[in-house]
Homo-oligomer: A and B are copies of this chain.
Amino acid sequence: MLTRRGFLKLAGALTAVALGMGCAEKKPEEPRAATVATPTPTPQLELPWPYVKLDPAVVGEKAYEKYYEHHCMFGVFDAIVDKLREKVGYPYTTFPSEMMVYGKGGVAGWATLCGALNGAAAAIYLVSNDPDPIINELYQWYCQEELPDFRPKNPKFEIPKSVSGSPLCHVSVTNWCKATGFKAFSKERSERCAWITASVAAKTVELLNAQADGTFVPAYPLPDRVKQCRGCHDKGSALENTRGKMDCTQCHFNLGEEHPKFG
């Protein structure tokens, strides 16, 4: 592969040869043949790739559409990357976005990490020079806010909100089903996940824009109850027997008789 810059350099050199320099005497042993045979491939592998600020409303709408093409992870990732392909061009034009289909339904229907959040994290690592604070903020927002908060222009249904409390697909879907009465494989649930895809894409762009402007300030800290759990179970603690930033109490709601009381 040649980069666009490499191509222009090489093409320029060859054009110069064709139009002038080489024409007086034909010398097929001249180094120009070697120049053609050994271009230096310099694909743009270094990160981050150049980011230009995008319109969250436009990207959200695009993500909603893309959900119905290839599901949640692809929806968020390619709504962002496709816009950058349009505005920046290379190297985004080389990225095979369709691979991101894998995150659908929390990875091939396993309901682990919400695909919208998986796609967002992938996109954030592609374009941000300080990605982890953006991911932390996005994931806490997803856990704590009433979502979806992005209503597409032409929805198939109106979608009620719920609080997931978790970045996991399984919990996010079940809590929404519990709050709304809809079934987990209903068309309304699909539409809800399309709105979630749009919401996460728009929020991701909002955060990336703020970071690009130097105005990013986290607004969703780790909840106090999680900090309390981590005091005994996380890094540097007495037990240090776990890791993570998910809300412990969502699964560990029954701590039994032996666990110290807290709250």
A residues whose Cβ falls under 8 Å from a Cβ of B: 1-4, 7, 10-11, 14-15, 17-20, 22-23, 26, 28, 32-33, 36, 39, 41, 43-47, 49, 90-91, 93-103, 105-113, 117-118, 121-122, 124-126, 131-132, 135-136, 139, 167-170, 173-174, 177-178, 183-186, 234-236, 240-246, 251, 254
Using CB atoms, name the residue of chain B closest to A168.
B112
Q: When chains A and B are docked, how far (Å) is the Cα of A243 from the Cα of B192?
A: 14
**Are B36 and A26 within 8 A (Cβ)?**
no
Chain B residues contacting A20 (CB-CB under 8 Å) are 26
- A107-B117, A110-B246, A139-B110 known; A18 and B47 CB under 8 Å? no
- Of the candidates B18, B41, B243, the one whose C-beta lies within 8 Å of that of A18 is B18
**Are A122 and B102 within 8 A (Cβ)?**
yes
**Are B110 and A244 within 8 A (Cβ)?**
yes
- A2-B1, A36-B15, A246-B112 known; A183 and B240 CB under 8 Å? yes
Apart from A96-B126, A102-B135, 19 more pairs, CB < 8 Å: A1-B4, A1-B90, A11-B14, A15-B33, A18-B32, A19-B26, A46-B96, A91-B96, A105-B243, A106-B113, A106-B244, A108-B139, A110-B135, A112-B117, A113-B118, A184-B241, A184-B242, A185-B243, A186-B240
Q: When chains A and B are docked, how far (Å) is the Cα of A212 from the Cα of B106?
A: 26
**Are A242 and B177 within 8 A (Cβ)?**
yes
Q: When chains A and B are docked, how far (Å) is the Cα of A195 from the Cα of B67?
A: 36
Chain B residues contacting A99 (CB-CB under 8 Å) are 47, 122, 125-126
**Are B167 and A110 within 8 A (Cβ)?**
yes
Using CB atoms, name the residue of chain B closest to A96.
B45
- 10 nearest interchain CB pairs? A111-B244, A102-B125, A14-B14, A183-B240, A17-B18, A23-B23, A112-B113, A113-B113, A170-B244, A108-B135
- 6 pairs from A and B in contact (CB 8 Å cutoff): A1-B2, A102-B125, A103-B121, A112-B113, A112-B244, A168-B168
Shortest beta-carbon distance from A33 to chain B in Å: 7
- Of the candidates B46, B139, B173, the one whose C-beta lies within 8 Å of that of A242 is B173
- A1-B1, A20-B26, A22-B23 known; A245 and B11 CB under 8 Å? no
Shortest beta-carbon distance from A29 to chain B in Å: 11
Chain B residues contacting A3 (CB-CB under 8 Å) are 1
